[in-house]
Amino acid sequence: MVYYFTSTVVKPSAYVYVGKDKFENEDLIKFGWEEDFHADKLSSAHIYLRLTEGETWDNIPEPLLEDLAQLTKANSIEGNKKDNVTIIYTPWSNLRKDGSMAVGQVSFHDDRKVKRVLVRQRENVIINRLNKTKVEKHPDLKQEREDRQKELRKRDQAAMLARKKEEARIKKEREQLKHQKAHAYDDIFNEENMVSDPRDVLVAAPEVVREEQRQPLHLAEPGALHREVLHLRGLRQLELLLRGEVLGRLEVDVLLVLEDLEGPRRAG
């Protein structure tokens, strides 16, 4: 038999439970989930707190911690009669149990994972509030534990699959970007993109210039050199030049082509 309490000092409300006696505590020790609270060096029921998502045992809010400590003190036959009682708490995973220990008795794997809180005196207001929420149940602790572990495994698998999917997406994008950079200018000097008559350029160039909101071209001006004009068909190549993305040797080649285009008009 297990007693369940609800602490409303936090939002959402906290889920607290305790075994009816030391024999019930044995099952809670074996199939517990999270925190164990009990009175230091005094006989005590083991009070458990089931944490919500995102909470950890070492950042329990002070009001909730006080509720748990008061409930632990009240459930200790010896501790309930005394003032200045020390309550210790630790993660369930830190509990150690072996065959040499008495029923309900535990120790700890790592003392560094044990914290203490001092309860100076019993606070009846807190105990009465918690007792009003008390519910008695007969849970299958083993099955609850197995269901919880199954849920956690399923969640971990889903997270792993999502992570692998995201990594694959990022890898694919990087490979595509690398390929695009490596082949960005492959077709610039392709014969299919070339025009034989410079007058064809005068038809295409102003259209691109207007798209880029530039001034109309005047190739007839003596000595004019317009990088915007190129004997290529297709807006993508022209856009690359207009945005200054053609670098190094390719840019020089473009300028030479433009000078060649200017030549016949100046000669005429």
The answer to whether the CB of 46 falls within 8 A of the CB of 28 is yes
Can you read off the two tokens belonging to residue 78? Answer: 């010896």
List, for the chain, all residue ranges whose pLDDT scores fall below the cut of 50.
199-236, 238-268
Q: Is 53 left (phi over 0), alpha (psi -120 to 50) or beta?
A: beta
What pLDDT does residue 164 have? Answer: 93
Q: Residue 104's pLDDT is what? A: 65
Predicted pLDDT of residue 188? 59
Query: What is the reported pLDDT for 190?
Result: 60
Amino acid 265: pLDDT: 46
Task: In whole angstroms, give the CA distance from residue 106 to residue 96.
Answer: 6
Residue 91 to residue 77: CA distance in whole angstroms: 24
Cα-flanking dihedrals φ and ψ of residue 44, to 5°? -160, 150
Give pLDDT, residue 28. Answer: 74
At 259 the pLDDT is 43
What confidence score (pLDDT) does residue 47 get? 85
In the chain, domain spans: 2-154, 191-267
Instruction: Give the per-residue pLDDT at 182.
Output: 81
pLDDT at 133: 96
Answer yes or no: are the C-beta atoms of 237 and 204 closer than 8 Å: no
Res 197: pLDDT: 52
